[in-house]
Amino acid sequence: MKNRLTLLDDRSIFRAMEKKDTKAEIIAKGTEMISLYGYNATGIDMILKQVHVPKGSFYHYFNSKEDFGLAVIDRFAERYEQRLITFLNDSEVSPLNRIRNYLESGLARLTQNQCTKGCLIGNLGQELADQNERFRSRLDEIFQSWKDRFASCLREAQSVGELRQDQDPVVIAGFILSGWEGSILRAKVTKSPQPMHDFIETIFSTVLK
Amino acid sequence: MKNRLTLLDDRSIFRAMEKKDTKAEIIAKGTEMISLYGYNATGIDMILKQVHVPKGSFYHYFNSKEDFGLAVIDRFAERYEQRLITFLNDSEVSPLNRIRNYLESGLARLTQNQCTKGCLIGNLGQELADQNERFRSRLDEIFQSWKDRFASCLREAQSVGELRQDQDPVVIAGFILSGWEGSILRAKVTKSPQPMHDFIETIFSTVLK
């Protein structure tokens, strides 16, 4: 009897693991396709076909395409937050150099991707801000949290004398976020990382000095 | 006989006028809907229903949805070019103030639209740059022509001593275009014109001085 119970437990653990993996796999493939084609043009069928999951199973993991889209955004935001922490809280480097390292790493990533995909949050903001309030408010929160991280780093830059005291860290943080999102968009359209490169050079020779 | 010919001529002129108006009407409604919903999510049927044109007629005016999309872009670019000329070639105003007036007028427009729609070229660039090479290259040309107009105005600003000589007008023009597109995106997502307002204040207190 004990053995049978153990076996059942093992099976249910296995099923739980399998469920988690399949859900994660759908989200990962969805992230990739939504980054390339946008939310509206990415069909659930296309994703499921690529991960070899039957259609019926999709609704086992998500209530709707909208819930699935929000799960894609949440997973992306969680990972991106980690990336921002890695760069912007790096106490080995001066605050302005942390921002520079973060921007340079984004430039390297887009260059590696042949200037495709761009920023998932920017893409979905552009596509969905006027269409879906749940998406809009979640994307707005994410942009806000990124802006807050830049603003804290700029405050640190002021405290160590790297940035002029008459600059408002919150305004400059928003300015960096806007400029960076716009540079990524232009890099995607012109298929060259030059706009991102020019943004980095200009921001450090004019605003952040 | 002469009368009959005149009548035929009148009819064919009327038909040509009607054709032109219907085509223009489809393009105008298409521009509005694509600005709000994007290219992929805007169905031809939705547009035709709103302008009361039967489906068959659509293919009388356009070979495909793609051709229609390009016609929407061309009409927008033509009108926008006119808008840029009005502001950036305004010899009554100093070069940097021309750029400020242009940006302020964009801020006023988005505020009037409750921060919806954003910039059609930015929206379509975000959505289609990785999907369709005809769209990408046309959008790239348009961004390039806008950048060129900013660059000429900045060169004039240098020649009248409004802008430092060590700034590269082409790089700064690209920086303005990126920052402005990103500010419009952020205004759309946060449903407030504040990012555009902050962009204008920051660019004039740091880069353009």
Residue B16: CB atoms within 10 A of its CB come to 10
Confidence class for position A5, pLDDT limits 50, 70, 90:
low
Domains and CATH numbers, chain B: 1-61 (1.10.10), 64-207 (1.10.357.10)
Please report the pLDDT score of residue B209 as a whole number. Answer: 86
Structure tokens at A66: 């909208």
Cβ contacts of residue B187 below 8 Å, gap of 6+? B110, B115, B118, B193, B194, B195, B196
Residues of B in Cβ contact (< 8 Å) with A118: 126, 129
Residues of A in Cβ contact (< 8 Å) with B186: 125, 143, 174, 177-178, 181
- Residue B169 and residue B99: Cα distance in Å, rounded? 13
Q: Is B169 exposed, middle or buried (0-12, 13-18, 19+ CB in 10 A)?
A: middle
Which has more pLDDT, B109 or B4? B109
Distance from CA of A21 to the nearest CA of B (A): 29
Residues of A in Cβ contact (< 8 Å) with B190: 140, 143-144
pLDDT tens across B153-204, in order? 999 999 999 999 999 999 999 999 999 999 999 999 999 999 999 999 999 9
CB of B104 closer than 8 Å to CB of B183: no
CA distances to A45, B39, B41, B56, B179 from B45, rounded to whole Å, are 23, 13, 11, 11, 36
Given an 8 Å threshold on Cβ–Cβ distance, is B116 in contact with A139?
A: no
Per-residue DSSP letter, B113 = T
pLDDT tens across A137-176, in order? 999 999 999 999 999 999 999 999 999 999 999 999 999 9
Please report the pLDDT score of residue B14 as a whole number. Answer: 62
Given an 8 Å threshold on Cβ–Cβ distance, is B130 in contact with A171?
A: no
A175: left (phi over 0), alpha (psi -120 to 50) or beta: alpha
Structure tokens at B19: 């054709």
* Rounded-to-10 torsion of CA B123, B129, B135, B137: 120
Question: Whole-number mean pLDDT of chain A?
Answer: 93
For residue B98, report the phi and psi dihedrals to the nearest 5 degrees. Answer: -65, -45
Q: Is residue A19 scored above 80 in pLDDT?
A: no
Structure tokens at B64: 């495909």
Residue B116: CB atoms within 10 A of its CB come to 14
Given an 8 Å threshold on Cβ–Cβ distance, is A130 in contact with B177?
A: no
Residues of B in Cβ contact (< 8 Å) with A207: 202, 206-207
Please report the pLDDT score of residue B9 as a whole number. Answer: 62
Please report the pLDDT score of residue A11 as a whole number. Answer: 67
- Pick the residue from chain A with its C-alpha nearest to B167: A202
Distance from CA of A179 to the nearest CA of B (A): 4
**Which site among A181, A183, A201, A203 would you substitute to test the B interface, given the most B Cβ atoms closer than 10 Å to its Cβ?**
A181
For residue B161, report the phi and psi dihedrals to the nearest 5 degrees. Answer: 75, 20
Q: Is residue B2 scored above 60 in pLDDT?
A: no
* Rounded-to-10 torsion of CA A177, A180, A186, A192: -160
Confidence class for position A1, pLDDT limits 50, 70, 90:
very low
Q: Determine what percent of chain A is predicted with pLDDT higher than 70.
A: 90
This prediction's pTM = 0.91
Radius of gyration of chain A (CA): 21
B114: left (phi over 0), alpha (psi -120 to 50) or beta: left
Cβ contacts of residue B22 below 8 Å, gap of 6+? B51, B53, B57, B61
pLDDT tens across B90-111, in order? 999 999 999 999 999 999 999 9
Radius of gyration of chain B (CA): 21
The beta-carbon neighbor of B40 closest among A38, A140, A182 is A38
Find the mean pLDDT for residues A94-121. Answer: 97
Please report the pLDDT score of residue B19 as a whole number. Answer: 64
Pick from B183, B181, B203: nearest CA to B193: B183
Confidence class for position B10, pLDDT limits 50, 70, 90:
low
Given an 8 Å threshold on Cβ–Cβ distance, is A129 in contact with B202?
A: no
Q: Is residue A42 scored above 70 in pLDDT?
A: yes
CB of A156 closer than 8 Å to CB of A172: no
- Residue A76 and residue A85: Cα distance in Å, rounded? 14
Given an 8 Å threshold on Cβ–Cβ distance, is B189 in contact with A129?
A: yes
- Residue A150 and residue B79: Cα distance in Å, rounded? 37
Given an 8 Å threshold on Cβ–Cβ distance, is B37 in contact with A130?
A: yes
**Look-up of token digits 């790239």:** B140
Residues of A in Cβ contact (< 8 Å) with B40: 37-38, 40-41
Find the mean pLDDT for residues A53-80. Answer: 95
Please report the pLDDT score of residue B15 as a whole number. Answer: 65
CB of A191 closer than 8 Å to CB of A172: no
Given an 8 Å threshold on Cβ–Cβ distance, is B122 in contact with A195?
A: no
The beta-carbon neighbor of A116 closest among B117, B118, B130 is B130
Please report the pLDDT score of residue A209 as a whole number. Answer: 86
Residues of B in Cβ contact (< 8 Å) with A183: 178, 182
Residues of A in Cβ contact (< 8 Å) with B126: 118, 122-123, 126-127, 185, 188
- Pick the residue from chain A with its C-alpha nearest to B200: A175
* DSSP assignment of A10-66: HHHHHHHHHHHHHHHHHHHHHHHHHHHH-STT--HHHHHHHHT--HHHHHHH-SSHH
